[in-house]
Structure 1
Amino acid sequence: MSVPTAVRAPLRIGPHTCDTPVVLAPMAGITNAGFRRLCREQGAGFYVCEMITSRGLVEKNPLTFRMIAMDPDEQPRSMQLYGVDPATIGAAVRMIVERDLADHVDLNFGCPVPKVTRRGGGAALPYKRRLFERIVRAAVENAGPMPVTIKMRIGIDDGRHTYLDAAQRAVDAGVAAVALHARTAAQRYSGTADWTAIARLRDAVPAEVPVLGNGDIFSAADALRMVAETGCDGVVVGRGCLGRPWLFADLEAAFAGRPLPEPPSLGQVAATLRRHAVLLQAHMGADKGIRDVRKHIAWYLKGFPIGGDLRRRLGLVDSLDELDELLALLDPDEPFPAEADGPRGRQGSPGRVVLPEHWLDDPDDPSVPFGAELEHSGG
């Protein structure tokens, strides 16, 4: 299998360099230590952990500390933080530096889910430009030499684009890179990402600050096309690697100008799925790990001609031995189906963004909204 290839310059985030300009997007419930190891085994890149609340970190919440577990050989260690209070974000970053918990921090300004935006967080926050700037500066000032990056969306909706202003403020505050998911919060994951926004961002940001593009990258060809069309310095991959961690091997080959590996047979997919289950068990424990892998099974087997009964049984698997028994029923020589390509994971429909009361009244209001931090700690 081949795609148009192009050698790309290494991606630099602060002192950290990777020849493959690819970042794994933090995904809740997905990008834990087990999944990150599986992806790293496939190809090079920056691999970011699940979103962590700054409050949970500062409070030393046990769940939070389990979620930020990193493999000894995981370099650089990348952590994404969520927060709405500059003081809490600053304290969390200071703790990360003092305890050597990570080598790179990314700030989340892109999450569109209601439980985050209704408190002014995630994709809602850049609209409050002075509060946004306070948060970014608090992170950078407490990070010392550790690089801080941001990930954001185009804006709240089509009438409220914030990404260009937010990027300029973040660059002025000293961030090491800017990533853009080229959708609004109102789009969620529906429709098509507007890659022209990534191109406009690349033109607006100083050349020495990397701009990363995110949205609708489901293949190596998509990644190369995004770079060619937008001039971005690298790509952020989220839903495209669900059930397809070998996408990182494709990306590594494509950006190096090499032919892509052949798509895996069903037997090879099954072996990767089993490896995923083993890694999740090592990270979470046997019972929780095998339960967690269930949600990945449909993504791994998408497009393959597998009977409904076997799919159902795989979706209810409760031990590694049972998983082995069921995977043995698959035809290992079945080729990878063309219909498995393309969008995967959540898409949903566009909708109104849930915001705090009077959030849109004054974009220059720098105050932290009442009750802004999530009521629960953890990620």
Structure 2
Amino acid sequence: MVKIGNITLPDFPLLLAPMEDVSDPPFRAVCKDNGVDLMYTEFISSEGLIRDAIKSRQKLDIFDYERPIGIQIFGGDEEAMALSAKIVETVQPDLVDINFGCPVKKVVSKGAGAGVLKDVDLMVRLTEAVVRSTSLPVTVKTRLGWDDNSRNIEEVAERLQDTGIKALSIHGRTRSQMYKGEADWTLIAAVKNNPRIHIPIFGNGDIDSPQKALAYKNRYGVDGIMIGRAAIGYPWIFREIKHYVETGAMPEPPTVEERVAVCKKHLVKSVEWKGPIVGINEMRRHYANYLKGLPGIKEYRNRLVTLKEVEEIEAVLDEILDNYKDAIIERTAIELVNYHEKCPV
């Protein structure tokens, strides 16, 4: 078992990465159905929470069936981070996570997210402020460093552990890499193998298949893995990894019936949570992955992204089911969706 404070997770747990504009309650619901062990909300601005910004407050919505779940916050001011952690505590998540990894310019320019990687002392002070302000377990998500000249994650991990955090998730790229190139897990392994480190270490970056998940588990010895982009439109990645780790065999891929059913559930929950206009509009980014691999699916996908009523969308999905119900979609690896302007990891 893996322990994060008073939270008990199974051996080698699978975590859903907090992704801006993706990891909302509707998406989390379909991931939970498929075996994810720990989820996080989209990251929330500490300043936004304090200002009572509607979008920031809405991101605090969590549900009992999602547990265990963490709420992720970001910011560059100690007082604001401490106060936002107290606000987060009022909705009773299972943990508070701090984002020191988002590389997007609008976040970094405010001295938050991966911007804090340039000032480790500030990172430590921000983390201490959050740890002192809440009774919840505090975890951190970060990167290897700011750039190739400052890949200081080994020092950072020790100093963050000393603040009292209960787990650390590491994305195997620097901020300067953004989402380009290959994630370097050797430094993640170095942190995990450091005899001073006793908190769980979770690896993140480039895990897009069960085979790679097991290979990285064995090669780098991490306590678990965090998956982001590979789950978008393919929540089955979690159950497939679990099955492969346990048996060494690939499970059957989801049928067309499963794909359509999960897509419908995601749509309905999206409309329930966000309202019909935003809920339908924001579902459009998911259809391509839900339907990936079906021959000639482009025409249907183009129709789906123009429709404005749930009933119309469901009718097209039913049409897809009728036309492709006997199709078998072989899956060897998932094509990653690029969210370079978001914060997938």
The TM-score, its normalising length taken from structure 2, stands at 0.92
2:274 to 278, 284, 292: 284
1:1-20 equivalences in 2 (<5 Å): 10-19=1-10
Displacement, 1:196? 1.0
Matches within 5 A, 1:158-173: 158-173=148-163
Secondary structure of residue in 1 paired with 2:44: strand
- Verify: 1:317 aligned to 2:317, yes or no: no
- Could you tell me which of 100, 106, 112 is aligned with 1:115? 106
Provide the secondary structure at the position in 2 that maps to 1:328.
helix
Find the counterpart in structure 2 of residue 301 from structure 1.
291
Is 1:154 the counterpart of 2:147? The answer is: no
1:64 aligns with one of 53, 56, 60:
56
Cα distance change of structure 1 residues 309 and 96 upon mapping to structure 2, 3 Å threshold = closer
Report how many residues are paired: 337
Please say if residues 304 and 313 of structure 2, whose CA atoms lie closer than 8 Å, have aligned partners that are also in contact.
yes
Deviations 1:307-335 (A, max 9, x none): 43222111222222111221233212211
Structure 2: distance between partners of 1:290 and 1:177: 36
Q: Look up the SS of the partner of 1:244 in the other structure.
A: coil
Matched to 1:43, the amino acid is: G
> 1 CA distance for matches of 2:45 and 2:245?
33
The letter of the residue matching 1:18 is L
Letter in 1 for 2:242: E
- Name the CA distance, whole Å, in 2 between partners of 1:172 and 1:312: 52
Distance 1:108 1:205, change over 3 A: farther
AA aligned to 2:171 is H
The question of whether the paired residues in 2 share the 8 Å contact of 1:280 and 1:289 is answered with: yes
Gaps of 5+ in 1: 1-9, 350-379
State the distance in 2 between where 1:254 and 1:176 align. Answer: 28
- The separation in 1 between residues aligned to 2:94 and 2:212, in whole angstroms, is 29
Query: Which residues in structure 2 correspond to 1:1-379 (within 5 Å)?
Result: 10-19=1-10, 21-97=13-89, 99-144=90-135, 146-204=136-194, 206-257=196-247, 259-330=249-320, 331-338=324-331, 341-346=333-338
- Return the letter of the residue paired with 2:96: V
The 2-side partners of 1:70 and 1:268 are apart by 25
Change (3 A) 1:100 1:287: closer
**Does the residue aligned with 1:155 lie in a helix, a strand or coil?**
coil
Q: CA deviation at 1:255?
A: 4.1
Offset of residue 208 of structure 1: 2.5
1:48 Cα deviation (Å)?
Answer: 0.5
- Deviation digits for residues 149-205 of structure 1 (CA, Å, limit 9, x no counterpart): 111111111122131221111001011011110011111111111111211111236
* Corresponding letter in the other structure for 2:57: F
Contact 1:86 1:134 in 2 (8 A): yes
Identity level (%)? 32
Q: Residue 93 of structure 1: CA displacement? A: 1.2
In structure 2, the residue corresponding to 1:160 is in which secondary structure? Answer: coil
**1:318 partner amino acid:** K
Q: CA–CA distance in 1 between the matches of 2:340 and 2:31? A: 26
Gaps of 5+ in 2: none
Contact 1:180–1:212 (8 Å) recurs in 2:
yes
CA RMSD across the alignment: 1.9
Q: Is the 8 A contact 1:53 1:82 kept in 2?
A: yes
SS in 2 for 1:50: coil
Aligned equivalents of 1:122, 1:52: Cα separation in 2:
11
Please identify, of 104-113 and 56-65, the stretch whose mean Cα deviation from structure 2 is larger.
Answer: 56-65
The 10-residue stretch of structure 1 (54-63 or 33-42) with the greater mean CA deviation from structure 2: 54-63
Contact 1:216 1:343 (8 Å CA) reproduced:
no
Distance 2:92 2:242 in 1: 27
Contact 1:250 1:260 in 2 (8 A): yes
Deviation at 1:337, TM superposition (A): 3.5
Per-residue deviation at 1:259?
4.7
CA contact (8 A) 1:283 1:289 kept: yes
How far apart, CA to CA, are the structure 2 residues paired with 1:187 and 1:324?
40
